[in-house]
Amino acid sequence: MSEAITLQEKRPAPSVPKDAAAVVLVRGDAREPEVFWARRGARLAFQPGFYAFPGGQRDEADAEVGVENADDSEAASMIACAARELFEELGVLAARGAESLTKGQRESVLDDLTSGRMSFAELLGHYGLKLDARDFRPAGRWVTPPFSPRRFDTHFFVVRCPAKQEPRLLTEEFDEGGWERASEAYERWRRFELMAAPPVIHAVRTVAGGLTEDLTERFLSVPQARREPVRRIEFLPGFVCVPLRTPTKPPATTTNCYVVGTSDFVIFDPGSPYEDEQEVLSEFVRELQDGGRRPLEIVLTHQHPDHVGGVERLREEFGLTVAAHRLTAEELEGKVRVDRLIKEGELMELEGDPSIRLRAMHTPGHTRGHLSFYDERAGALLSGDNVVGVGSVLIDPEEGNVRDYLASLERYRRLPRLVALFGGHGPAVGSPSAKIDEYVSHRLKRERDILAAVRAGAGTPEEVVAQAYTDVHPKMHALAARAVSAHLIKLEEDGLVRRREGGRFTANT
Ligand SMILES: [Zn+2]
């Protein structure tokens, strides 16, 4: 591929993972246990709409909590973190001695903790309670991949819910949740009823296998549960995200390639121009092939270099055809050969268990030939670069068009069922409707701000940026000026501003 390949690679540093702990709270029969999980709020910055377990980042004070039978001080502080988060988020106090407290006493302990009157260590000491490592069975340690702006190195623990304590959602973090048979929780994910990150799905599936002696070993049976990098992320059955390092627009450092299908499969946007990353993808495809599955085609959402940089390698190695919208094919002429054109409304049927049926949508805005793909039953939308999981979307004229873009977002909004949105960059979004609404209101607010700036005398995109983009880093001002141009074109068409001689804009009154 063109320039992207010869680009000097400047690697932006992904953020450093922070220590965190999560609790897989279980109860009931050891052969058919129940697990407590809950859906994260739709507007949270990290994993909005995902099903998850209680947990959070380690506090400095967690190191002061004594934990009996812990291997070392590091393990002790992570157990303290897990116990504190479990208590703060669900009101469950997994400490020895807690059974002798009345419900009212537990409430006042919680109140002392959350109000900051006493630290967790002080409270445990005051009431004669003890944390014991034997109550916290290690269940692996997962590191959030670099495609996420927030990253955690999360220690998972399985904790049996203490008798006579009933978890309840105490924080804003979760909007609904409860006990569920682990096997049913896993099946609901299989039926596309909810979305969750790989460690959570791995946990419910493992717990569904029973609370056996070898529980920890079964948790650790996948390398990602031992801090190995997570390169393939199956957010929904058959929708695997493979974030690959690309020369893309910060803060993103990767572009998501999606491998979709539960039997034969399609590869969307193999974008990395870097050989080591291309090899990561090829290795995955070879593994699937070895398992008897066939790659059918490479599909492109649009022509940007960070979405097509790995096409040729994949085409050659697996003898695949490449499909895209006609307008994308035209842009790629002389760079990447497109063998098949995809039209609005075309249906891609991928047999398997479950089967996947992707409907192509022509959704211009970011580029003219931009395609999105939607599976109604799965509630899954591949949104390309129209809506992304990290950073913002650039509408850059001439290929970018604000009016088209808003119309495309409106089409997304009207989709009948949305469980997960898979953008071209960053983590998937488990609250697609809230995310799309946020994008629409952000665009409309920008438009109002730009119009106000022109009314206040700003006459060029640069002057508008200086007035209206005070929240944007000066480094990004050149890009912002292009985005402003896109808005000014629309405002001009709307009759709200006009371009005068010399190119300066003024507001129509
Ligand atoms: Zn793009």
**C-alpha 315 to ligand 1 mean position (Å):** 21
Whether residue 2 has pLDDT greater than 60? no
3-class SS of residue 51: strand
User: Residue 80 above 60 pLDDT?
Assistant: yes
Q: Show the domains of the chain with their CATH numbers.
A: 18-225 (3.90.79.10), 233-393+400-430 (3.60.15.10), 446-507 (1.10.10)
- C-alpha 303 – ligand 1 centre gap (Å): 7
Taking a C-beta distance cutoff of 8 angstroms, is the pair 240, 232 a contact? yes
Query: DSSP class of residue 442?
Result: H
Distance 371 CA to ligand 1 centre (A): 11
Ligand 1 center–CA 385 separation, angstroms? 5
User: How far apart are the CA of 332 and the centre of ligand 1, in A?
Assistant: 13
| Token duo for residue 240 | 């695997």
Ligand 1 geometric centre to CA of 264 (Å): 27
Q: Which secondary structure element, helix H or strand E, spans residue 347, and what is its range?
A: strand 347-350
238 and 352 Cβ atoms separated by less than 8 Å:
yes
Residues 6+ apart with CB under 8 A from 359: 345, 346, 347, 348, 373, 374, 375, 376
Over residues 181-201, mean pLDDT: 96
* Packing angle of the helix pair 461-468, 432-455 (nearest 10 deg): 110
Average pLDDT over residues 173-201: 96
Instruction: Tell me which DSSP letter residue 226 carries.
Output: B
Q: What is the pLDDT of residues 410-441, one digit of tens each?
A: 999 999 999 999 999 999 999 999 999 999 99
- Å from CA of 211 to ligand 1 middle: 46
309 C-alpha to ligand 1 centroid (Å): 12
Any idea of the CA torsion for 148, 474, 8, 244, to the nearest 10 degrees?
20
Backbone angles phi, psi at 164, to 5 degrees: 65, 15
User: pLDDT grade, residue 141 (50/70/90)?
Assistant: very high
What is the tens place of the pLDDT at every residue in 21-34? Answer: 999 999 999 999 99
Q: What are the angstrom distances between the C-alpha of 2 and each of 246, 273, 332?
A: 14, 10, 10
pLDDT confidence of residue 250: 78
On whether the CB atoms of residues 267 and 258 are closer than 8 A, the answer is yes
Q: Which residues of 98-120 are buried (b: 16+ CB within 10 A; e: fewer)?
A: beebeeeebeebbebbeeeeebb
CA–CA gap between residue 68 and residue 225 (Å, rounded): 25
Q: Rounded distance, CA 384 to CA 370, Å?
A: 8
Query: Residue 225 Cα, ligand 1 centroid: separation in angstroms?
Result: 33
C-alpha 284/C-alpha 186 separation (Å) is 24
Neighbours of 398 (CB within 10 A): 9
304 CA to centre of ligand 1 in angstroms: 5
Phi, psi of 381 (to 5 degrees): -125, 120
Identify any residues that bridge with 498 across adjacent strands, giving them in sequence order: 506
Cα 30 to Cα 367: distance, rounded to the nearest angstrom: 54
Phi, psi of 209 (to 5 degrees): -75, 0
The whole-number pLDDT of residue 3 equals 34
pLDDT at 12: 59
**φ, ψ (nearest 5 deg) of residue 100:** -90, -5
String of DSSP letters for 387-400: S-SSS-----TTT-
Q: What contacts 509, CB < 8 A, 6 or more positions away? A: none
What pLDDT score was predicted for residue 473?
A: 84
- In tens, the pLDDT along 31-72 reads 999 999 999 999 898 899 999 999 999 999 999 999 999 999
Residue 394: per-residue pLDDT: 87
Q: Name the band, by pLDDT with cuts 50, 70 and 90, for residue 7.
A: very low
Residues 327-358: tens digit of each pLDDT? 999 999 999 999 999 999 999 999 999 999 99
C-alpha 374/C-alpha 381 separation (Å) is 5
Q: Model-level pTM?
A: 0.91
Q: 254-260 and 371-375: which strand pairing?
A: unpaired
Distances (CA, A) of 67 to 93, 125, 133, 141, 398: 14, 12, 6, 19, 62
**Model pLDDT, residue 247:** 87
Q: What percent of the chain has pLDDT over 90?
A: 88
Q: What is the distance in A from the centroid of ligand 1 to the CA of 427?
A: 16
| Residue 206, number of CB atoms within 10 A of its CB | 28
How buried is 16 (Cβ within 10 angstroms: 0-12 exposed, 13-18 middle, 19+ buried)? exposed
Judge contact between 34 and 182, C-beta under 8 A. Answer: yes
Give the Å distance between the CA of 100 and the centre of ligand 1. Answer: 60
Nearby residues of 370 by Cβ (< 8 Å), 6 or more positions away = 301, 302, 325, 328, 362, 363, 364, 384, 385, 386, 408
Mean pLDDT computed over every residue of the chain: 94
According to the model, what pLDDT value does residue 249 have?
80
459 alpha carbon – ligand 1 mean position (Å): 28
Q: Which residues have a Cβ under 8 Å from the Cβ of 407 and sit 6 or more positions away?
A: 365
> Which residues lie at CB < 5 A from ion ligand 1?
304, 385
Which tokens sit at 273? 């121009």
Beta-bridge mates of residue 372: 361
The answer to whether 420 and 195 are in contact (CB under 8 A) is yes
Residue 450, classed as helix, strand or coil, is helix
Distance 251 CA to ligand 1 centre (A): 14
Q: What is the dihedral of CA 456, 406, 234, 79, to 10 degrees?
A: 30
Quick check: 365 pLDDT over 80? Answer: yes
Question: Which region among 199-208, 386-395, 496-505 has the lowest average model confidence (pLDDT)?
Answer: 386-395
Mean pLDDT of 100-105: 92
Instruction: Give the confidence band of 253 by pLDDT, cuts at 50, 70, 90.
Output: confident
